[in-house]
Amino acid sequence: MSQRHKLNLAARRAMPMLAAVVLLAGCASANKTTSTAASASSSGTATSSSGMAGMNMGSGASAGTGASVNGIKPVPTQLLATTTWEGMKITAQAMTAVPFVIYNGTSEQMVKPSAKTSFHLMVMLSDAQTGVPIPYATVWATISKDGRLVYDERQWPMISRYMGPHYGNDVTVPGAGAYQLSLLVSPPVSARHVEYQSVWLAAHRVNLTFHWKPTS
């Protein structure tokens, strides 16, 4: 069995599709408004040295769109890393955690960050040429520090007025330092126009490095 097939099989087993579940997010600015505090190599490794809003935003912070919509203000975000895979741009951002809503088709459930939450991790998948968001994928994120796993969760498929479709979840990490972020991206499960018929046919793993610092 090939390594690609094993990754794809593992992703399908570990990340069941959550049909009819949509998250309405308070997530913030679109990719175009985020300053580049991180640089990714072809291997997917990137670094960023500043923190998040309400913590320590640093020079890599983005203030979002700068305008409120229906009383909802954009929340500053921090770019962690960006890389590409077969024409898909994969961007990891962090922002101050805010409440979001899970809608299962019949009812809503409000999710509020705990006092221990460090930040809200957002993963954006988009066409590298057009910038159009790519939905219907599955994203699993793990974060490690000094070889110890500190976070291991599926990212919710989310929508936001400021960002559109993306994948996110709240994250708690044990303080400042360098962290290793690993993203397992499973292929979008949907009908496709022909320009996408031969890409993203198996799970793909991206390994990134970022630095995080809470407020003093």
Spelled out in words, what is the top-level CATH class assigned to the domain 3-212? Answer: mainly beta
**pLDDT at residue 189, as a whole number:** 95
Alpha-helical (H) ranges within 23-105 are none
Counts for the chain of helices (H) and strands (E), in that order: 1, 12
Tokens describing residue 136 = 């219907």
**pLDDT at residue 10, as a whole number:** 52
**pLDDT at residue 127, as a whole number:** 97
**pLDDT at residue 212, as a whole number:** 85
**pLDDT at residue 7, as a whole number:** 54
Q: How far apart are the first and last CA of the chain?
A: 50
- Note down pLDDT in tens along the chain; length 216 residues: 665 555 555 555 544 444 344 556 555 433 333 323 333 433 343 333 333 333 333 334 444 444 555 666 667 788 888 999 999 999 999 988 888 999 989 999 999 999 999 999 999 999 999 999 999 999 999 999 999 999 999 999 999 887 889 999 999 999 899 999 999 999 999 999 999 999 999 999 999 999 888 754
Cα distance between residue 41 and residue 93, in whole Å: 17
**pLDDT at residue 180, as a whole number:** 96
**pLDDT at residue 95, as a whole number:** 86
- Stated as kind and residue range, the H or E segment containing 48 is none
Is pTM beyond 0.75? Reply is no
Tokens describing residue 160 = 């936001």
Task: Measure the CA dihedral 154/157/159/162, to 10°.
Answer: 50
- Of 50, 34, 49, which Cα lies nearest the Cα of 89? 34
**pLDDT at residue 163, as a whole number:** 80
**Helix %, strand %, coil % of the chain (to 5):** 10, 40, 50
What are the boundaries of each domain within the chain?
Answer: 3-212
Q: What is the 3-state secondary structure (H, E, C) of 160-201?
A: CCCCCCEEEEEECCCCCEEEEEEEEEECCCCCCCHHHCCCCC
**pLDDT at residue 135, as a whole number:** 95
Cα distance between residue 161 and residue 69, in whole Å: 8
